[in-house]
Structure 1
């Protein structure tokens, strides 16, 4: 487990996560929206997806459903991030393949710990 795709429209978050995860030895790619993420997974298969729920265009939940229906999540883990701790959204994400939920602003050490656990499980 070493390939991570970060899908977030906030460049600062993508850059922070990419830097931290690359220091941990992961291969990291990033997408600023759901459309780009769907295009990327046609040629590159992440082991872990980190997806923001609030994205322009295709939102995080729709992206999750698309990935699920195309069997892109069969051997991958999904971490959902959102500043909006709405129970319905989180539950819908879990029903569509999300393994973990992280609230923004997030603790980077906690996120690293979750990703480390997922890597060991895979």
Structure 2
């Protein structure tokens, strides 16, 4: 009998803090996802030319472009990614972000976060 291997859902993490990116990759692996990292908005856009993802984790304060603007760019180019995002930030949710969460079904994960909080947010994609 042929053994089937479960394909892991692919997550693109757009985060400019290398230590936090590594934490995301490791925790995603624990939860059955496979994470790739881009540390700028432009790098994320370049990666999306050649790769597809099931989910995005986007820091709201990237060095080259606000995370919300990156998300809007991604959705214009790839409408199928609408709502497939977890925004992260150490700051409060803005009105604009709240509208995106309500309208598109996006999620928000406040920094710092616990493993349990990340799992709870990821549960809807498991």
Q: Normalising by structure 2, what TM-score? A: 0.82
Name the counterpart of 1:20.
27
Root mean square deviation of aligned Cα: 2.1
Pairing 1:1-122 to 2, within 5 Å after superposition? 2-71=9-78, 73-74=80-81, 77-94=84-101, 97=104, 99-119=106-126
Contact 1:79 1:102 in 2 (8 A): yes
Select between 14-23 and 109-118 the one with higher mean Cα deviation: 109-118
Partner Cα separation in structure 2 for residue 51 and residue 101 of structure 1: 10
Of the two, which has the highest radius of gyration? 2
Partner Cα separation in structure 2 for residue 89 and residue 106 of structure 1: 22
Name stretches of at least 5 consecutive residues in structure 2 with no aligned partner. Answer: 1-7
Contact 1:9 1:32 in 2 (8 A): yes
Partner Cα separation in structure 1 for residue 13 and residue 48 of structure 2: 12
Q: Normalising by structure 1, what TM-score? A: 0.85
Name stretches of at least 5 consecutive residues in structure 1 with no aligned partner. Answer: none
